[in-house]
Amino acid sequence: LVPLLIVFVAGTIGSSFGTLVGGTSLITIPVLIFLGLPPYTAIGTDRLGIAGLTSMGWYKFHEKGLINYPIALRMGVAALFGSFLGANLVLEISIALLKKIIAITTALALIPVVAQPKLGREKRDRPIKRHEYRAGIFISFIIGIYGGFYGAMAGTFLLYVLLFIFKQTFLESTATLKISSLMMTTIAAVVFAIKGVIDYPLAAAMFLGCAIGSYFGAHYSDRIGNVWIRRLFIVIVLIMAIKLLIP
């Protein structure tokens, strides 16, 4: 009962801000490993549990009319195929090295966010060009591979795509990425389930916690607004980058 409660609380806390800026798995995966799950099982359990965040976030942001479905579905299909590939790959790379690469890349990507105060605050006023769609789809596929294999910060990388390539606001990006994230995590969860490496009681507790946290985060998102979501994004990404660099 205690492990279930711990995972539920971790999911609730992590998803309350994770539904806005990503990074929930950087809390939940270490918690699952701390509770005794092997790393591979922890990742599989997290992939299923995190679906509570993405599904509830999708529901709430759809209510608010903030999701750009043409973009979301294109990115989602690419991320789905990438995630299927990533979840099936036996990658010959150490998790420690992977974390350092992700931390440094994520932190470096913050530089243009900080340098451009208007980024993510103003609506796009021109149609999306074909080459922008192609770039967004290709990058979403690459992110999907990583999302299927490990997943922590994958949502944040998808948010970068929406900010930099599709020029959405922070609030629009947060909403739109829910579909691609849901497709990415669901297919990965299916692969991990087939491999028999999911702890279903812990996944259920995490799913419920993530759904509750995501509900409140998405519910109050428009009151928080683009300016404060941007500030929260910068702070959380810096914290997560540092956390990834610490063994």
Task: Look at 117 and 222; give whichever has higher pLDDT.
Answer: 222
pLDDT at residue 95, rounded to an integer:
63
Task: Look at 39 and 93; give whichever has higher pLDDT.
Answer: 39
The pLDDT tens digits for 163-201 are: 889 988 889 999 999 999 999 999 989 988 998 989 999
| Average pLDDT value over all residues in the chain | 85
pLDDT at residue 207, rounded to an integer:
97
Q: How far is CA 126 from CA 97, 103, 131, 166, 230, in A?
A: 40, 33, 14, 10, 22
pLDDT at residue 102, rounded to an integer:
66
pLDDT above 60: residue 91: no
pLDDT at residue 7, rounded to an integer:
96
208 — pLDDT class (breaks 50, 70, 90)? very high
Residue 18 contacts residue 24 (beta carbons within 8 Å): yes
Residues in CB range of 130: below 8 A, 6 or more apart = none
Residue 99 contacts residue 241 (beta carbons within 8 Å): no
Overall pTM > 0.85: no
Angle subtended by helix axes 200-219 and 51-63, to nearest 10? 30
Residue 150 contacts residue 202 (beta carbons within 8 Å): no
Pair of tokens at residue 145 = 């591979």
Residues in CB range of 17: below 8 A, 6 or more apart = 23, 217, 232, 236
